[in-house]
């Protein structure tokens, strides 16, 4: 007996324009995901969008992200939200952090993905379909790093909020995925930090010198495997 096609998925990905998100986009364009709806959110357009893709050019640092503009196809049987977008800025000591820049970081890492997760949870509940929130997290969500007030606080906040969502909504499951240190523009920015702003900066510089950084493509492969295996 021939195998039936898997139920159609809708995959929502933030941070699709660069770094890990861009690499994930490339994996989602493989034949494995050909039948799935892909909604890509980023600051600038990605290369080579296919007919099954929708690109939403959005700045997650702005207030009141309009998640209702994420339109899920009516025949979708499973929802996947890859919360990938993130910013490590501003990097500064607690005493010198700019409150405006801190607010923007909280929007990118917490408020905007929270709005997206809320919207998709409502869709999942209304249609009685499962939602997987694949949260790209960091060790900084669990431990303090000097100079990373914005990053540690916002990553911890979204992790906790998503855990509450999964507790409250039977149709929602959350997986926190910590990719480790990846060779991305974010890491390049971290290595440019002044020691007085980030005392641990030399450790990150050493990892780059010693080729200890993972490639974005390798980590994207792991993420795409999780997405592929998600079943109702």
Q: What six digits make up the tokens of 93?
A: 């000591």
Q: Give residue 55's pLDDT.
A: 93
169 within 8 A of 155, measured Cβ to Cβ: no
Average pLDDT over residues 23-39: 92
Alpha-carbon gap, residue 182 to 20, rounded angstroms: 8
Residue 39, H or E segment: strand 37-42
Residue 121, H or E segment: helix 112-127
Residue 219, pLDDT > 70, answer: yes
Alpha-carbon gap, residue 85 to 102, rounded angstroms: 16
Residue 50, pLDDT > 90, answer: no
User: What is the CA 147 to chain-centroid distance, rounded?
Assistant: 22
**CA atoms 81, 188, 55, 44: torsion sign:** positive
Residue 51, pLDDT > 90, answer: no
Triad 217, 210, 84: Cα angle to 5°? 30
Give the model confidence (pLDDT) of 97-124 as tens digits: 999 999 999 999 999 999 999 999 999 9
Q: Give residue 34's pLDDT.
A: 87
pTM here? 0.93
């Amino acid at each position: 007996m021939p195998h039936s096609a898997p139920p159609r998925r809708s995959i929502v990905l933030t941070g699709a324009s660069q770094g890990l998100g861009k690499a994930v986009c490339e994996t989602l364009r493989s034949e494995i995901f050909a039948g799935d709806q892909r909604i890509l959110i980023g600051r600038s357009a990605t290369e080579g969008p296919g007919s099954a893709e929708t690109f939403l050019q959005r700045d997650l640092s702005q207030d009141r992200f309009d998640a209702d503009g994420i339109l899920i196809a009516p025949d979708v049987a499973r929802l996947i939200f890859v919360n990938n977008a993130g910013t490590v800025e501003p990097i500064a000591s607690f005493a010198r952090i700019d409150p405006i820049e801190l607010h923007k970081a909280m929007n990118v890492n917490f408020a905007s993905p929270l709005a997206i997760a809320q919207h998709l949870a409502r869709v999942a509940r209304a249609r009685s379909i499962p939602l997987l929130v694949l949260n790209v997290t960091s060790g900084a969500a669990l431990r303090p790093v000097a100079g990373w007030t914005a990053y540690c606080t916002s990553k911890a906040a979204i992790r906790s909020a998503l855990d509450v969502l999964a507790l409250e909504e039977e149709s929602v499951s959350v997986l926190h995925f910590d990719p480790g240190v990846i060779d991305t523009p974010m890491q390049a920015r971290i290595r440019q930090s002044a020691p007085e702003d980030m005392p641990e900066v030399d450790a990150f510089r050493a990892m780059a010198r010693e080729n200890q950084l993972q490639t974005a493509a390798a980590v994207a492969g792991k993420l795409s495997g999780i997405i592929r295996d998600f079943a109702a």
